[in-house]
Amino acid sequence: MKKILLLVFVIFCSCNSNKKEEINSKVQLNSQQILPPQPYFLDIKVNDVKLEKPVFGDWLFSHKEKGQSFEQFVRTKHVVPSEQENIIYLKPIGKFDVLQLKQIELVRQYLQIFFQLETKVLENVSNDIIPNHARRIGDVGQEQFLAGYILDDVLKEENPNKRIALMAITEKDLYPKPEWNYVFGLASYRDKVAVSSIHRLQDKSLKGADFNLCLDRLLKICSHEIGHMFGLHHCIDADCVMNGTNSLVETDEHTLRLCSNCQRKLNSGFKYDNKKRLLELEKFFKENKLTEGLELTKKDLKSIQ
């Protein structure tokens, strides 16, 4: 390690005299590579809803984030699909009922449309893979799993064919560390793995309107976390699925839609057909009676006609 650090230091020193020229050159090169937005992104920008000033309890009230411009995104190293890595995987952990399994399948369908990448569900595994030292009883008597254990000791061992992102879904509550009560999910963007819990997303049961409410929340959380894996930072400009949230109430207030800038970021490396994606989203929302998502998608479709 000392030799590596010394080598880095020597290289830095040897290049220091030309540092300013190199930086200017790189900035100029990057500026030439960044093309103006395509008409699609300009057309749908009219549907972006500016965020209101944050109030106490909101994510942005307690987290002073700077945001991420399109230029910052493209100049920062991030994951881009390739022939070797282009499949998103979901890994169910636990004992799910029929309606929960239906939701996981709908999440798979949605992510495949949202990211325009093949998405598969791996074989369900038992809760027995979580050892006693990574479990505890929560504040209201519910069993909780240590989210970090799932990331480090379960998901890192998984290497399915052409994996670009892997997200576990559990029916048990999660906690990130002893002093925290719970967490909805946790992710390691470097390792491209994440875990989300259904436990707190359903109010009573999964029957009737509660099914769609839970599904809406699950779609938001999963697309948000996987969006981070692909280099998207929290959006601070418009109502967007990449907005940070402090609570389930705030999650419900935010939209399923990616704003025009975040759509442009995602599309810059994925190169999918934007209209095809919108039409597939429209069909999904209509079939699953997700009214808000359907209305937002129709607005974007109308704007590009």
Euclidean distance between CA atoms 169 and 145, whole angstroms? 12
Q: CB neighbours of 263 closer than 8 A, spacing ≥ 6?
A: 41, 44, 274
Annotated active-site residue 225? The verdict is yes
Radius of gyration for the chain, computed over Cα atoms and rounded to the nearest angstrom: 21
DSSP 96-126: --HHHHHHHHHHHHHHHHHTTSEEEEPPPB-
Per the CB < 8 A criterion, the answer to whether 213 and 99 are in contact is no
CB count in 10 Å sphere of residue 127? 14
Among the options 83, 123, 143, 225, which is catalytic? 225
Euclidean distance between CA atoms 151 and 157, whole angstroms? 9
Strand partners for 103: none
Q: How many residues does the chain have?
A: 305
Q: CB neighbours of 68 closer than 8 A, spacing ≥ 6?
A: 232, 233, 234, 235, 265
- Which residues carry out catalysis? 225
